[in-house]
Amino acid sequence: MALETDFIIIGSGIAGLRAAVEIARGGARVTVLTKDRTSESNTEYAQGGVAVALSDDDKVSLHEEDTLQAGAGLCDEEAVRVLVEDGRRYIEELIEWGTEFDREGGRLVFTQEAAHSRRRILHAHGDSTGKEIVRALIKRAGAEKNIAFLPHAATESLVVEDGRCCGVRYLDPLLRAPRALRARAIVLASGGAGQLFLHTTNPQVATGDGMAMAFLAGAELADMEFVQFHPTALNLADAPRFLLSEAMRGEGGVLLNAAGERFMPRYHERAELAPRDIVSRAIVAEMARTATASVYLDMTDFDRRFLHRRFPKIYETCLRFNLDLAREPAPVSPAAHYCMGGVRTDIQGRTTLKGLYAAGEVACTGVHGANRLASNSLLEGLVFGARAGSAAVKECGAGADVSVSRKEIELEESERAQEDDRRSKGEVALAVRKRVRRLMWERVGIIRTRESMERALFEFNQIARAPLRPASRNFLTVATIVTRSALWREESRGGHFRSDFPERDDEHWQVHSIVKKDSEISSSEKLDFAS
């Protein structure tokens, strides 16, 4: 028998937690499902900080202008305006809830990051901003007695009846068997899909399940070709692909090639502070030119005390691998970092599927366009998590007519359990993931071509013939959609670069890609379908 709640949140990063608090304020029951522990999400790993126009020399209009500039002509202007204007209020609310951003003399400290015209980045404990925000939000959510957390419960699919999303199927964390949970509405806040690529800064949970589940349930996805590769991930043989924050270059760190030469001024007038896609491609070009696997981030002009105070987590992590940033440059190379595309939403977090809302990296609001401005992601999760929660309560709260058939869900759950049992012996999950990740990195990575992507799609189609469990099916689905979208867009823009179409083409391609199940890719001049 299916369990029931009022609202389901999938994911416990900044967007999911903020949506949960917003919904629970009205007294509704909220169940938060997480694939791992409650605090495990991309938010927890966010180092650089959160961008907000709160300093004395900053303006909302400047933050808006910088965001639009970074987005390479594809930002939704209304969504950006909501982000930068409402962001101030929601950050101040976070502070009221106990978030401890770094201060000096009682005043908030703002730092610089690439493509920002002002020092507007708030950080916490140096380079542990996301972790601090998650701590404060979990504590705030814990004060709401009607929020229940269900960790280690991987959501596998959405339940849809009569064109409306009315529940989820998930793996019971104790029985490891599929179960169903019904609700009046679902808020998808499951994060991104960085794990699609062989080299990524993302945690293991960032596998794109939310995007795949929404797509398979009938919701539209948008701009899936735009993937941001962070320029500076630690590249040591025995170390994880640990992110070396954008803020390190913002503070004055420089990039050197294998010969010890600074090279970024040759590629862009803003040098190390150029947009991330430009820095990433410059690094790839420099590694190819010098026949090396790394470039080097040099912070040796700063003393040990400054580095330890400003970047404590980064500094200590590097030390564990016998790398002292105060004495020697760190070998770095790009890694997959952030998905600008996702489930298509309006500025209230509504998707194109009734009863389903989305916020954070899983969603595509149009805020980031073709290339996310550094440190806008936490702000987006906060602002649009709150808006999605608010819209869900208003439209699906007490008194709303959202009735669905219970019997059909229960029958589907039973059939799903039998299907999984039939497929279990043929599971090739690990092999599928390894092969897909390598194909995505080598053929749909920082530099793409028609030939490379067509080859990837051919292999994905071969893999799809094997019996796959839901997690593997979701993983392959998202990889295929990213590749199809990148093949469709015959230009280079923001995070999407094709060497066979190296120029930006506003005349033909200043449009969003829209993907829907059982349909060809289409284009739309606007992302907000409700406006």
Catalytic machinery residues = 276
| Calpha distance 492→498 (Å, rounded) | 6
CB 365 within 8 A of CB 79: yes
| 159, amino acid identity | V
Name the DSSP class of 252. Answer: T
Name the DSSP class of 329. Answer: P
CB 10 within 8 A of CB 159: no
| Calpha distance 277→279 (Å, rounded) | 6
| Calpha distance 76→130 (Å, rounded) | 25
Query: Hey, CA dihedral for 515, 519, 525, 527, is it positive or negative?
Result: negative
Residue 197's closest CA among 525, 448, 462, 396?
A: 448
| Calpha distance 326→315 (Å, rounded) | 9
Write the CB contacts of 335 (distance below 8 Å, at least 6 apart in sequence): 197, 199, 200, 201, 229, 230, 233, 241, 243
Residue 296's closest CA among 269, 318, 270?
A: 318
For the chain, the 3-state helix, strand and coil shares in percent, each to the nearest 5, are 40, 20, 40
| Calpha distance 236→328 (Å, rounded) | 13
Burial of 306-331, coded b for 16+ CB within 10 Å and e otherwise, reads ebbebbebbbebbeeeebebbeebbb
| Calpha distance 263→48 (Å, rounded) | 23
